[in-house]
Amino acid sequence: MEAYELLYPEELAAAKAYMRVEGEEDDALVVDTVLAARTYLAGAGVTLPPAGSGKRALYDMACHCLALAYYERRSVDETAPEDSKAVQRIIEQLKKTEEADGSNADAGKGGENGDDQKS
């Protein structure tokens, strides 16, 4: 299985657009950075919201910010991207909404439609 098969095509396209990555030669690396970001968010107690929701847009923003930072810093020893104050604020907001609606119990579950995950 190719790495790019771990994300839906529209997820990969959205990440590449945000990261301004053209062509296909870095697809596996983009997928790895997105999956690393999702893993980080799951570890922070943030679940993958259903596609099309406002909460999903916020989740994707945090995920893409982290993925871009991982991608740009792949060969540089700098501050970890999750140390960004902006990303931390997004994560805290997502966690607060999960606590409010009780969805934190399923952390890490969900996929493009919120019901299954390819990764």
CB 31 within 8 A of CB 4: yes
Helix axes 9-19, 54-72, angle to 10 degrees: 60
Rounded Cα gap, residues 83 and 49, in angstroms: 23
List pLDDT tens digits, range 55-112.
Answer: 999 999 999 999 998 888 776 555 565 566 777 788 888 888 877 777 554 444 334 3
**What is the pTM assigned to this prediction?**
0.66
pLDDT tens profile 8-66: 999 999 999 999 999 999 999 999 999 999 988 998 889 899 988 989 999 999 999 99
